[in-house]
Structure 1
Amino acid sequence: MWLSPALLFLCFSGSLSLMGPSSVTGNLGGSLSVQCQYEEDYRTYKKYWCRGQSESTCDKIVETNVEEKRGRVSIRDHPDSLTFIVTMENLTAEDTGSYWCRIQKVWLLDIWSYDPSVQVNVSVSPGSYPLRAVSNAVSGPLRGSLIVQCRYDSGWETYKKWWCRGAEWSNCRILVITNGSEEKAKSNQVSIKDNQKLHTFTVTMEELRWNDADTYWCGIEKSGTDLGVEVKVTIDPVTMQCHYGPGWETYVKSWCQDADLNSCNILVQTSGLELKKNHVSINQKKHTFSMTIWGE
């Protein structure tokens, strides 16, 4: 699977033992692939992809036979064609920089043998990504609901739209998905509905809980790598205020949990002007103190 592939080979560089493109360009949110070719003698050697201005000090990202995929970057060796291919997905502006295709050689008589290398300059252009969130950060109240809207370009009307949860897009868990029509789909407390005339699909999360705060993704299912855009979801803090009359300013104020006032468990109490404990805080002001909960 791949995202709006954009691959630009300007020219090839390297030595006879390893060759590859000197520059490649991909669109923001899309993907690019880099193909490096090596000699027959290096068929069984490990190949890797690293980043940095200097080949001798570059930071290794992925390598064959060890960690062939790391986050949005993968590498695959094709010994039959004497090539290996590096793929970078869901490109960001920060991915622009200097990288290296390299072959890992071995120690010979306690002398380190130089790794064949070829430098590849990666550029990420703004481009035009067909899917975007109206807002990449949304929040809702505890036990309430929130709405996320994602817009897409013309031509994607009949494709299935989905909503998934997880820090990494490549393995996030799909919570709800449309069937390619405008029919509303719902699973547990999450629903999704596609408005194909407006090129917008809407996700609604209801009965919000503290642990619903996470990274989510709006997505469109397609051949190859699905389209996806990140959305951060947070739950608004809950604040309760208590008021008291004159004369009680110096008394200790507390917040406790139980149906019986005489036996309730004190979660936190004032000590000076402010006290924080776990997810609870009490701010004492003139004739007012408040308790705020950020989570469980």
Structure 2
Amino acid sequence: MAAHLIVLLLLSVLKGVHSITTVSKVSVEAGKSISIPCFYESQYINHVKYLCEGYDWKFCRYAVKTNKPDPSGKYVISDDKKEQIFTVTINQVTNQHTDYWCAVEINNGPDCGQYFKLSVISDTRRLPVDHQRITGYIGENITIRCHHSNSGEMKWCRLGRNCVTGSPGSIDGTTVTTHMRDPNVFTVTMSGLKSEDSGWYWCAKGDIQIPVYLNVTEKPITMKQLSKWNNSTVEENKEGRASYDTNILIIPLSVLILILIVVFIWFILSHRKRKVELSATAMTGEDITYSEVGLKKNSSPRTERGAEDVTYSTLADYQAQST
């Protein structure tokens, strides 16, 4: 009994059961690609991660490393240190290579690894999900259909977090509802999505699991919404321009009216001044009669005594000379 416990302990250390978390068995169509997420603990953030091919951990071979890409392109690996998940993608899946390990290099010690197996099928109707990568929109709901052909407990889990096995439940504060309305279809609905809900999940029915990456983003504007928005903007601009134009015209019209009043007053005053000048000119142009008055003595001896002196005047007309 003690020997059996020691063997289990050694296997746990070698496989890194408590250090790396991933799916255990995944269905995939032959010739297609599959992405497998591998969650690791925080102490391994700066360590090298890799995919190891083979059933036996001690004899598996390196397929791809984070510090050494695969030149053939069959294997691709990426490391999201913020989420503490490295993802391995296996292209052109075949029945010849179905056993793999998610692994982390440990300096000065044995590496940690977690085993997973690919179940390669040719019947696409048996695929667990329609799409491995899906997109949801903030504030909305999303439904994932997980197909299955075996018995066992239904689960919807977030990698490295908790699982929902009943309905309703929640993951990171987001409501999750599961049900089995259709035969052999396990349906999951996540309500009121948040941007923080982006990440790797997996659905399971029995021992078959399938990882699903959910990307939660802002909903894009459709052409219909854009057209409606543009029409609304045009109407607002028209209203704004009408109000704006009315306000602009007030000042120029006021100035124009003032100018017209000034011109009118100037015209009246100028007209009156002209009449005065014409009247003065007309008066200056009239004939003026001048008279010369002189005194002459009466030299006639026959003038009777007591007779008064007579004054004669010579009248002459002068035409007024205009200057």
**More helix as a share of residues:** 2
- TM band (smaller chain): 0.3 to 0.5
Larger proportion of strand: 1
Q: Which of the pair has more CA radius of gyration? A: 2
TM-score, L = length of structure 2? 0.33
